[in-house]
Amino acid sequence: MTASLTGLGPILETPPTWPEGLTPEVLAAIELPTPFLAGDLRMVADRFQRFARALPRVRAHYAVKCNSAPEILRTASAQGAGFEVASIGELRMLQAVGVDPADVLYSNTVKPAAHIAQAAEAGLWRFAADSEGELHKIARVAPGSAVYIRIRVDDSGSVFPLSRKFGAEAHHARALLQEAKRLGLQPYGLTFHVGSQCAATSAWRQAIASAGRIMRNLQQDGIRLEMLDLGGGFPARYGDAVPSIEQIGDVIESALDELLPYEPLLIVAEPGRHMVAETAVMVASVLGREERAGEEWLYLDVGAYNGLMETQQTVGQWRFPLWSSRADHGVVEQVPYTVTGPSCDSSDTMFYGAPLPVTMSEGDRVFIASAGAYTLSYASSFNGFPPPATYFIER
């Protein structure tokens, strides 16, 4: 759904790091029931364009799991992006907005056999793997497919490491591609993931170096790969500074020049969070304010289980930028609040020591920025509280 807002005058002081199209003054003028997520598709398009300028040799394959709103998928497609999926359900979402499955990567390394078969039948032909069992499964239900092997790399510079669950060691990756060839599959490429919200630019250089060594060894086996997939991990701005996409692009571009034995025909990446996090703001209402054991508590109508699950995964340390609808925000004293959700679960608490105006009260609204990624895709209707509605702003 799209909300169109025009003719708004200044209502509130704008925080210095707030997204231009979703300032508190714009959000305060939206008279819709909360909670809701307000997104700006022009910002999404700009993200894809900026990514392409920073990484001219790398084609973005948007990670559908991050935010699968049809409007986001259509915008990504209009910007020339490919896509990455983790299930047949995500592929069906793409088909519903007109995306050709042949332009989709299936990067989940352990997949239901039925999903592989259905994806192949739809026209998807490239599948990730990191084990012999998965190669045999693909060969059985989607014979002749192209496979790319996920390698384990250092992801210690990220907020959400992934290497425990995914990725083959370098020597194993070489053996897997040899096995793929023996099984009649096409040994197509390598992929890695430096971990979600990675703040260490060196992580991409180290991972590309590892991929380059494997490619060099595979040449001795008579295998020349066609694709290198740089995975995801490209960070978005929350409460802490992160490298810009231009800084990351400089590191990646020089690593591609210096560390690969040859340049594959296709170099891709799977950005998700970087493309959409900063393009949306969650809008919630204060249900109540209480003092408990000397702490000021704010109860919101959105919580971890219906939109802010990443705050649970980081035990309240995920620093979403916060603002309020109060006209005295930025004028009166701010005090630390414990900010919790609407459910009857004490662990449904998102923020600790969050600075907001001392005057906060029932009915005020709280604006949670950088909320476009992994919010709605995680959201449930736990305790009967539904996920927030989504609206897109026309500027």
Contact 338, 369 (CB under 8 A): no
Compute the distance between CA of residue 274 and CA of residue 96 in angstroms, rounded to an integer.
Answer: 24
Compute the distance between CA of residue 15 and CA of residue 251 in angstroms, rounded to an integer.
Answer: 31
Compute the distance between CA of residue 92 and CA of residue 338 in angstroms, rounded to an integer.
Answer: 40
Angle at 229 between CA 224 and CA 231, to 5 degrees: 155
If pLDDT is split at 50, 70 and 90, which confidence band does 153 have? confident
Compute the distance between CA of residue 228 and CA of residue 220 in angstroms, rounded to an integer.
Answer: 18
Compute the distance between CA of residue 128 and CA of residue 120 in angstroms, rounded to an integer.
Answer: 13
| Predicted local confidence at residue 311, as pLDDT | 87
Compute the distance between CA of residue 203 and CA of residue 328 in angstroms, rounded to an integer.
Answer: 43
Length of the chain as a residue count: 395
* Residue 119 phi, psi (nearest 5): -65, -45
Catalytic, out of 4, 16, 165, 344: 344
The CATH classification number of 68-271 equals 3.20.20.10
pLDDT tens readout for residues 306-364: 999 988 876 656 678 999 999 999 899 999 999 999 999 988 999 999 999 999 999 99
| Predicted local confidence at residue 393, as pLDDT | 80
Q: Is residue 66 among the annotated active site residues?
A: no
Closest CA to 341 of 382, 295, 377: 382
Compute the distance between CA of residue 395 and CA of residue 72 in angstroms, rounded to an integer.
Answer: 16
Query: Residue ranges of the domains in the chain?
Result: 2-39+277-394, 68-271
| Predicted local confidence at residue 326, as pLDDT | 94
Contact 125, 147 (CB under 8 A): no
Contact 282, 346 (CB under 8 A): no
The CATH classification number of 2-39+277-394 equals 2.40.37.10
pLDDT tens readout for residues 207-243: 999 999 999 999 999 999 999 999 999 999 887 889 9
